[in-house]
Amino acid sequence: MSVEMGLPVALPVAARPFEFRLEPHRAALVVIDMQRDFVEPGGFGAALGNDVSQLAAAVDPTRALLDTWRALAWPVVHTRESHAPDLSDCPPAKRNRGNPRLRIGDVGPMGRLLVRGEPGCEIVPSLAPQPGELLIDKPGKGAFHVTPLQAELERLGVRQLVFAGVTTEVCVQTTMREANDRGYECLLVEEATASYFPAFKAATIEMIVAQGGIVGWVAPLSALLAALQPALAARPPSAA
Ligand code: C5J
């Protein structure tokens, strides 16, 4: 881990409920479940009856975050909600919920829903992981549940998590709560997350910042990108 000359130990981000002090190199970007199965027509989200177009707004802001994290060479984590082909990691309590047209593991236009190796399970092309970035397959809503995520973050020396992804109130919020319980400081980027239900996104943001930031912080993309300018400027000439 190289530390750039003259960079402060923490970069202040204008956030709610109060300033977030982002620590260079110690903050990973975590992109939750930006998979075709949630974002595109014909996937799992659509099979549940959702209007998947609601999620499109989060793609470009997430890409802006990825571009910045990659330029800084700071850690990036992608997650996928996904199951083994034999569904041995998908309990009936999850698979048999509700009355969808298709269930997890059934064959849809993008292959078997939420099954690893199927086209629909992949991350949308514009946000696809690059070599060296972590890809965590998770059978649950939370990214720490039966995954190597915590061990990987410890290996990388990460103690802060900046969140993007979908859906705000399900896998993003669950993972933020898991992370908060494990001692990570969590910042959600408002435009880089979305829900099939805009009211749920708004309510989740309020839950996160309530009570002095009981789950974490929320900031607009512009505030985070502005805060990162000194880190971008401090990169060695070979990296800029
Ligand atoms: C859902 C997710 N909504 N990634 N998964 O079932 O939020």
Q: Give residue-wise pLDDT tens across range 119-155.
A: 999 999 999 999 999 999 999 999 999 999 999 999 9
pLDDT at residue number 4: 62
- Contact of 81 with 35, CB cutoff 8 Å: yes
**SS3 state of residue 134:** strand
Q: Which numbered atom of ligand 1 lies nearest the CA of 33?
A: 4
11 residue type, one letter: L
This prediction has a pTM of 0.96
Distance 234 CA to ligand 1 centre (A): 37
Type and span of the H or E element at 28: strand 27-32
Q: Give residue-wise pLDDT tens across range 173-221.
A: 999 999 999 999 999 999 999 999 999 999 999 999 999 999 999 999 9
Angle at alpha carbon of residue 88, lines to 84 and 92, rounded to 5°: 115
pLDDT band at 101 (very low <50, low <70, confident <90, very high): confident
Measuring from atom 1 of ligand 1, which residue has the nearest CA? 170
**CA 35 to the chain's CA centroid:** 11
Q: What integer best gives the mean pLDDT of the chain? A: 96
Q: Give residue-wise pLDDT tens across range 7-32.
A: 889 999 999 999 999 999 899 999 99
Is residue 33 flagged as an active site residue?
Answer: yes
Cα-atom radius of gyration of the chain, to the nearest Å? 18
